[in-house]
Amino acid sequence: MLNILHHYIGTKILNRIEPEISHAIALCYLRLLNQFVKKRKIGNPMLKTKICGMEVPSPIGLAAGFDKNAEVFNATLSLGFGFVEVGTITPDPQFGNPKPRLFRLPEEKALINRMGFNNKGMLHVSKIAEKPKLGIVGVNIGANAKSINKILDYTNVFEFIAHLFDYVTINVSSPNTKNLRDLQKPETLEQILQDVNTINVSLKRKVPIFIKIAPDLNDSIVTEILSVCEENYVSGLIATNTTINPKNLKNPNSFEGGLSGKPLFNQSNKILRLLAKRKNASTVLIGVGGIFSASDIYEKIMLGASAVQIYTGFVYNGPMHIKRMEMELKNLLLSDGYNSIDGAVGALIR
């Protein structure tokens, strides 16, 4: 009970501090925890599943953007996440966009960020990522803002650090690096995938590749992206990144950056449903956007997600909420007669 109280009070205090400072404080705590953690919490056996052959004890993952430099992946795994994704990592270190660049909208259960891939670069991350991992850790990769050849950036990062992680997510959907979303165009995306696949087949252990897409795409573009991904051996898609559409807010206001949290839920689910209906059976989907409860997770699973990732819900509700959602998710499965996550995947679109 005392531990729960500490987490609750800590989360409440952190949510009253300027967002980026709050994030830095949380990372300091997790770096300390990282030095002592030797094992992770194992969830309910009902929640075990596989993503592209990778066994995870829970379908609830931590989205990229929290552990930007791969510094606390074992600490976050120990909090109860089934898997974590670090990054986004670029070839060269970069500061990102000018501050302030992270904003809370508590009444909307949302965040606005215009961070701009702030990270310490692939060389720094490669040194940390060699340490033993307590579970599945993926890496999200991107291009430097000032890069002349952004396509080459993905190839360079992939070649340098892919072998150190369990899977790689190619991020071509962040709204916070100028012109980055243009890389979602099918012909450009195909070039990126051809280049990284050439490297992937040469690795001792070929890694699963995911593409993270934007929610602000029309159905025909989503279908084209899916086709390119499947033609170029992508293991799965992550749906979705943040939105730039203020209409998702209850009180629409223009903003600069990407909106995450509850206002993204329905739009990300729309993309998820479309992908689930049109994908090949072997293509894996991970649902992201607006998850605050077990019922939110369950809806994404029923729409076709084999797993989910959270970020904004974790920021607002703290680490104890993860285990609570896992227990509630188990009960939702049981109430519908499922004895595993796998049985529920895509149930709403069959």
Which residues does the annotation mark as catalytic? Answer: 174
* Number of C-beta neighbours around residue 127 at 10 A: 11
Alpha-carbon distance of 290 to 341, in angstroms, equals 20
Q: CA–CA separation, 218 vs 220, rounded Å?
A: 6
Contacts of 227 (CB under 8 A, 6+ apart): 186
Q: Residue 310: helix, strand or coil by DSSP?
A: strand
**SS percent in the chain: helix, strand, coil, step 5:** 45, 15, 40
The residues near 132 (Cβ < 8 Å, ≥ 6 apart) are none
**What is the length of the chain?**
350
Give the long-range contacts of residues 317-320, CB within 8 A, separation 24 or more: 317/11, 317/292, 318/7, 318/8, 318/10, 318/11, 319/7, 319/11, 319/79, 319/80, 320/4, 320/7, 320/8
Q: Residue 346 region, left (φ>0) first, then alpha (ψ -120 to 50), else beta?
A: left
- The residue type found at 92 is D
Rounded CA gap, 280 and 278, in Å?
A: 7
Which of 343, 242, 241 shows the shortest CA–CA distance to 301?
343
Beta carbons within 10 angstroms of residue 283's beta carbon: 19
- 10 Å CB burial of residue 169 (0-12, 13-18, 19+) is buried
